[in-house]
Amino acid sequence: MHEFSLAVEVINLVQHEAERRSARSIQEISIEVGDLSGVEADSFESALELLVKDTCLDKAIITIKRIPGIGKCNGCNAEFEMNHRMDVCPICRCFPSEISGGQEFRVVEMVVE
């Protein structure tokens, strides 16, 4: 359960940050999860939902934003969206020579009170 320990880490990080800002409660957080980051966004979200109970994140609105990777085709140079690491070019079925993005895993926004 890789996603479970990541969820624990995120909660710790956010709690720490809330204390640093002397926040009373956290209203919102947004987390970016890249499709190629190795984190299963759905499992991560359910782990988070389970773990926020009785923490300062209990009432927070949690938004998980999935970021696809962009591959550049090795054959025809087209750029295409990648949701999986093994995705190939939709035009010529070649593997990408370069991949950008999709590796994100970070808290991008936090609204406290």
Q: Does 101 bind Zn ion (CB under 5 A)?
A: no
Identify the three-state secondary structure at position 37. coil
Identify which of residues 23 and 78 has a Cβ nearer to Zn ion in the complex: 78
On whether the CB atoms of residues 26 and 110 are closer than 8 A, the answer is yes
Q: Does 79 bind Zn ion (CB under 5 A)?
A: no
Smallest CA-to-CA distance from 70 within 107, 35, 106 is with 35
Identify which of residues 62 and 94 has a Cβ nearer to Zn ion in the complex: 94
The least distance separating Zn ion from the CB of residue 104, rounded to whole angstroms, comes to 25
Return the residue of 75, 101, 103, 105 that touches Zn ion, per CB under 5 A: 75
Burial of residue 72 (CB within 10 Å: 0-12, 13-18, 19+) is: middle
Q: Does 81 bind Zn ion (CB under 5 A)?
A: no
Identify which of residues 68 and 75 has a Cβ nearer to Zn ion in the complex: 75
The least distance separating Zn ion from the CB of residue 66, rounded to whole angstroms, comes to 24
State whether the Cα torsion 101-105-106-108 is positive or negative. positive
15, two tokens = 């709690």
69, two tokens = 């990777």
Q: Does 76 bind Zn ion (CB under 5 A)?
A: yes
**Footprint of Zn ion (CB under 5 A):** 73, 75-76, 78, 89, 91-92, 94
